[in-house]
Amino acid sequence: MKISTSKKIGLLIIISFFAWGGLSHQWYTMMDTTWEIILMLLIAFMLGWAFHYFWGRLIDFNLKAKDSVPERFSGISRDDLKLIEGVGPKIEELLKANGIKSWDDIAAAEIVTLKSILMEAGDRFQMHDPSSWADQAALASESKWSELQEYQDLLIGGRAS
């Protein structure tokens, strides 16, 4: 069983509260021992719960912010091949004319096939390197946006920098 960080810190607060001796002895010295223990447990529980609750929300907020879709990938459809670094509007038209219509198609295509489509299209397209396109398309197809972002940041025009 894995215990979250916020729960560990909450437990630490409870343990340190007991080790410290609870509250100051001045205001509850008249109470008997049972009520002292109950009061100390209640305060320790409330402190631990409050810390766990607020710390847990802070961690949740940070995780949601990390996993969100980057703005440049929001609202993109699966047939928008321009998402792939190195594929512009003309290459997208070329690929779609040759039966490659989605990210899944690019991910399944062999580099030789993509290269031959570019070679047959003429000199203008021969300089493009499709070696990273399948990997990018696979990440996009699986909605791994943060990984795709990192990978594309390493590329220059679809080529490894």
Do residues 90 and 153 both lie within one domain? yes
pLDDT digits (tens, 9 = 90+) for 54-103: 666 665 555 555 556 667 777 788 889 999 999 999 999 999 999 999 99
In sequence order, what DSSP letters do the residues of 60-112 get, joined into one string?
HHHHHHHHSPPGGGTT--TT-GGGSTT--HHHHHHHHHTT--SHHHHHHS-HH
Could you tell me the pTM of the whole model?
Answer: 0.56
Do residues 95 and 17 both lie within one domain? no
Q: What is the pLDDT of residue 27?
A: 45
Of 28, 51, 67, which residue is a domain's last? 67
Enclosing domain of residue 87: 72-160
Closest CA to 106 of 135, 85, 127, 126: 135
Do residues 89 and 139 both lie within one domain? yes
Do residues 84 and 118 both lie within one domain? yes
Domain count, the chain: 2
